[in-house]
Structure 1
């Protein structure tokens, strides 16, 4: 391994350590606790080293979001690859999404609620975002029986919005936890019964 390759690998490892530490602090104490001073203390690097990797805390948060999108896409694809009816797979994906939101509240917040520098639904959209949407779209298309790209995208946006509403309202205690299964079943049944947008 050349010196340059070793340096690049060390740089990538430092960057990932910064992202992982920011995520851990945010999950434990909230995003307000994630500062350059706190990160430099936690990982034992100087603040200038942090700025060599990220020019702002917004970039750090976006990197955490991208990791979250990659994880969510992978989990959705894993469920999509299982055997079962299209409705069963979509139902399982809904649970994967809701469980991800519940188990990773700070990451979910930075992915879907906080202000971000990431571009959505644009030619500059990062591949992690596109992959998560594509994995969800495939499952929605399967249950809805729709092949038209724009119709699938619209249905996926509506399904995603419904899941986001359930996750957000559930996290704040505005929806009772004992009816999650009823809500997921109703949502999937509606998509199976009404395959095309109005």
Structure 2
């Protein structure tokens, strides 16, 4: 291994350590506890070292979010490909999305709630984000065969996000999370399986 390769590998390892420490700290204590000062203490590197890898806390949160989207894409892919038919796949993907949000609250907040320079639905959208959306889109397309799959996927994504966020925040009656997701998928399929509605 050349000296340059060693330097690049060490740099990548430090960057990964910073991202991992930020996520772990956020999951334990919330994102308000994640500061460059606290991170430098956690990983035993000085703040200037942090700034060699990330220009700001926002950049660190964005890096955590991108890891989250990659994880979400893998989670949805497993749910979709393990299903026996397209409708079951869509249902499994919907449940997996909600469980991901509940099981990874700080990660989910980095992805969807915190201010970030990450852009959605643009040519510049990062690959992990594209892949996460594509998994949900594929489940919708396979189950519904609709003309406007992108819009339908956005609507389902928004509805699942709403259920997950309200449920996590204690705004919905407890113990009914699975029933709500099943109802959402049933109503969604019932309303759109036949294709786009025509104007009256």
The corresponding residue for 2:2 is: 2
The question of 1:172 aligning with 2:169 is answered yes
Is this contact kept in 2: 1:102–1:171, CA < 8 A?
yes
> Would you say 1:131 and 2:128 are equivalent positions?
no
What is the CA–CA distance in structure 2 between the aligned matches of 1:83 and 1:175, rounded to whole Å?
Answer: 29
Deviation at 1:75, TM superposition (A): 0.7
Q: Helix, strand or coil for the counterpart of 2:115?
A: coil
1:113 aligns with 2:116: no
1:157 aligned residue: 154
Matched, 1:42 2:42: yes
What are the Cα deviations for residues 53-92 of structure 1, in whole angstroms up to 9, with x where unaligned? Answer: 0000000000000000000001111111113121111111
Provide the rounded CA distance (Å) in 1 between the counterparts of 2:189 and 2:8: 49
Unaligned runs of 5+ in 1: none
CA distance in 1 between partners of 2:30 and 2:177 (Å): 26
- Does residue 16 (structure 1) correspond to residue 45 (structure 2)? The answer is no
- Tell whether the 8 Å contact from 1:80 to 1:89 is kept in structure 2 after alignment: yes
TM-score computed with the length of structure 1 as normaliser? 0.95
Aligned to 2:70: 70
* Equivalent in the alignment of 1:102: 102
Who is 2:181 aligned against?
184
8 Å CA contact 1:144–1:194 kept in 2: the answer is no
2: CA distance, partners of 1:20 / 1:177: 31
1:197 CA drift (Å): 4.7
State the 4+ residue runs in structure 1 displaced beyond 6 angstroms. none
Partner Cα distance (2:27, 2:100) in 1: 13
CA RMSD of aligned residues (A): 1.1
Per the alignment, in what secondary structure is the counterpart of residue 175 of structure 2?
A: helix
Paired residue secondary structure (1:142): helix
- Distance apart, 1:194 and its partner CA: 2.2
1:103-126 per-residue CA deviation (whole Å, 9 max, x = no partner) reads 111111111111111011111110
Q: Is the 8 A contact 1:154 1:197 kept in 2?
A: no
Q: Which runs of 5+ in 2 are unaligned?
A: none
Instruction: Write the distance in 1 (CA, Å) between the matches of 2:164 and 2:48.
Output: 37
CA distance, structure 1, for counterparts of residue 62 and residue 137 of structure 2? 23
Show CA shifts across 1:33-68 (max 9, x none).
Answer: 111110000000111110010000000000000000
